[in-house]
Structure 1
Amino acid sequence: MRLHLPPETDAVPPSLAELALRYRGLIRQFATFVGVGLAATAAHFAALTLMVENGLLGPVAGSAVGFIVGGIVSYSLNRRFTFESTRSHAGAVPRFMVVAGVAFVLNGLIMGLLVHELGLYYLLAQAITTGIIMLWTFSGYRIWAFAHRAGAREA
């Protein structure tokens, strides 16, 4: 029995530079999302720290308050700068709220697990939680909440 190998091709996999050029729009959009996320995260952490350090709330409830504060920053900046949405506020806000609502629940569950079950320091737990949730929110906002027709902004 003879083994048949596929014929060799001269195809060369794309270089990193070629991939960066091909996906530059997505890379730029994700970089902007990360920048906006840093601003929203700063607002989130400020509210969280204020709540916990002043004894107003525990880490999980303080994180929920911080999430809402950060969410307001996130919506405003992402709609304008990251996704350049052509969707009206009436169309974008409900969709944003669905994605953010799932993220809100995930935030509470993950924070509860990390703080109460694993005993992590609340700010470290929030940093880990934020990183995990970022993947969900970018995808949800890009694909659904702020999605618009190609070229609609230029029209």
Structure 2
Amino acid sequence: MRLRMLKYGVVGLLGTLLHFALLYVLADAFRMEPVLASAIGFVIVLFVSYALNKYWTFQSSETGIGSFVKYTVVSVAGLLLNIGVMYTAVHILQWHYLIGQSLVILVVPCSNFIFNYYWTFRQQRRTDS
């Protein structure tokens, strides 16, 4: 399980970097509202991280869309959590959006790993490394 957590962390780090880059470009360069920009970044990262986690982290050979649907459900729950944290940070606490996004990366990845490990890719796991 430790190796999977490490791989999940690497994918999460790549996803986080991509998410921050998209957030910055959309919010600063295109003057998009930061909560919406963060949500769009989250959705784009969904596709990238699913592919990396399916084939590298969990080494799933499942065909079809079953695991993608589960992954999407977990990610949508994470997206709602992301939006809630960002809204609270930006609009209620009046913090800079990058501080809000920093809070998001402390909460969402942990909950997503647990659900993906025990639900999304559960049948595909053979042995833990």
With the length of structure 2 as denominator, give the TM-score of the two structures: 0.91
1:111-152 alpha-carbon deviations (Å, 9 max, x no partner) = 100111112211121011122001110011111111225539
Q: What one-letter code is carried by the residue in structure 2 that aligns with 1:36?
A: V
| 1:49 pairs with 2:24 | yes
Q: Out of 87, 90, 97, which is 2:62 matched to?
A: 87
Query: What RMSD, in angstroms, separates the aligned Cα atoms of the two structures?
Result: 1.5
**Greater C-alpha Rg:** 1
Question: Percent of counterpart pairs with the same letter?
Answer: 29
Whole-angstrom CA distance in 2 between matches of 1:76 and 1:59: 26
Q: Out of 100, 110, 133, which is 2:85 matched to?
A: 110
Equivalent residues in 2 for 1:58-69, closer than 5 Å: 58-69=33-44
| Distance change (3 Å), C-alpha of 1:45 and 1:86 | same
Q: Which has the higher contact order (CA 8 A, sep 6+)?
A: 2
Q: Which runs of 5+ in 1 are unaligned?
A: 1-25
With the length of structure 1 as denominator, give the TM-score of the two structures: 0.76
1:74-132 alpha-carbon deviations (Å, 9 max, x no partner) = 10111111111233242111111110111111111111001111122111210111220
Where is the helix percentage greater, Structure 1 or Structure 2?
Answer: 2
| 1:120 pairs with 2:95 | yes
Whole-angstrom CA distance in 2 between matches of 1:89 and 1:131: 32
Aligned residues: 127
Q: Which runs of 5+ in 2 are unaligned?
A: none
Question: Which residue of structure 1 lines up, in the alignment, with residue 75 of structure 2?
Answer: 100
Q: What one-letter code is carried by the residue in structure 2 that aligns with 1:57?
A: M
